[in-house]
Amino acid sequence: MTTITTTAASPRRRAASFLHRHAGVRLSLLLSAPLAWLGLAYLGALAALLVTAFWSTDVFTGDVVKVFTWANFTDLVTGEVYRTVALRSIGVAAAVTLIDLVVAFPMAFAMAKLASPRAQRWLVIAVLTPLWASYLVKAYAWRVMLSSDGVLGWGYGLTATVVTLSYLWLPYMILPIYAGLERLPNSLLDAAGDLGARGWRTFRTVVWPLTFPAAVAGSIFTFSLSLGDYITVKIVGGKTQLIGNVVYDNIGAANNLPFAAAVATVPVVIMLVYLAAVRRTGALENL
């Protein structure tokens, strides 16, 4: 073991005792770097992006014109294409969430209530494993499966996008629901059975109301991850366009950063509305 020398006040020792006596200094030092990075730099970057959304691009030179204008947002609201794309993106996100919920719930239920503790451990690993496999690899796997001479051979398009996104985010739905069902005491299910409720009735009146916040927590992931995606759409979506593609194309091909910034606020606003709407359910504590 180390012996601690208490001789002359070395600078190190003085610094240590200074820190020991001043909690405020300790706290400021601890917060300095993380807050400078995330609080100032990252939030600053987001704020700068928001400001950019109110600028415009010179049609001839392609330079950003730093003059306040509502033009981007007017285009966004009045342009029929953008409304269609926004609604399609919300539709895709909602469909993915619904599919994942329907697939994940029975799986999570079987894991939490039917499997032995030993099997449970392995099942959780089995569900977690695909999360470590690369996102691109999984989207690619579906590209291979769906290609016209692949295993399924359905071809690419909107349906392919919904299927692939549902596949990608399924574990994010299973895990919170599984955790929610684990917390649900078995005695409640027994009590419902003793009082004469059959399977469906028990589910509707006992299981679902108590696991609803967990399901909503899962839906935050599936909804938000689908809403911002543009890579999967490019891989299996054929010519389908979602909000993410509009943002991407306006930065790359169209070189119109202000408009891209304005479009990018759409998923952010939708997510904020969604989070505000589900806040009451207590879902945020289940994340």
Site for another protein in 165-194 (CB under 8 A): 167, 170-171, 186, 189-190, 193
Q: How far apart are CA 27 and CA 22, in angstroms?
A: 9
Task: Candidates 1-9, 70-78, 154-162, 210-218: pick the segment binding another protein (CB under 8 A).
Answer: 1-9
3-state SS, residue 157:
coil
Is 254 among the residues that bind another protein (CB under 8 A)?
A: no
Q: How far is the CB of 62 from another protein (least distance, A)?
A: 13
For another protein, how many residues bind (rule: CB under 8 A)? Answer: 93
Q: Which two tokens stand for residue 187?
A: 């005695």
- Closer of 158 and 247 to another protein (Cβ): 247
Residue span 140-159 as binding mask against another protein, x where in contact by CB under 8 A, dash where not: xxxxxx-x-xxx-x------
Pick the closer one to another protein by CB: 37 or 70: 37
Say how far apart CA 90 and CA 96 lie, in whole Å: 10
Site membership for another protein, residue 195 (CB under 8 A): no
Which CB sits closer to another protein, 158 or 168? 168
Smaller CB separation from another protein, 71 or 189: 189
Angle at 225 between CA 224 and CA 231, to 5 degrees: 140
Where do the DSSP E strands lie in the chain? 56-57, 64-65
Measured from the CB atom, the residue of 41 and 81 that comes closer to another protein is: 41
Q: Can residue 7 be called a binding residue for another protein (CB under 8 A)?
A: no
HSE, side-chain direction, 13 A CA sphere, residue 73: 11
- Residue 136 lies near another protein (rule: CB under 8 A): yes
79-98 residues in contact with another protein (CB under 8 A) are none
Are 286 and 180 within 8 A, CB to CB?
yes
At 209, the amino acid letter reads: P
Which residues have C-beta within 8 Å of that of residue 275, sequence separation ≥ 6? 220, 284
Supply 5's token pair.
């020398």
CB of 78 to another protein, least distance (A): 23
Answer yes or no whether residue 208 interacts with another protein by CB under 8 A.
no
Q: Which among 94, 89, 45 is positioned nearest to 240, based on CA atoms?
A: 89
Tokens of 100: 């994942």
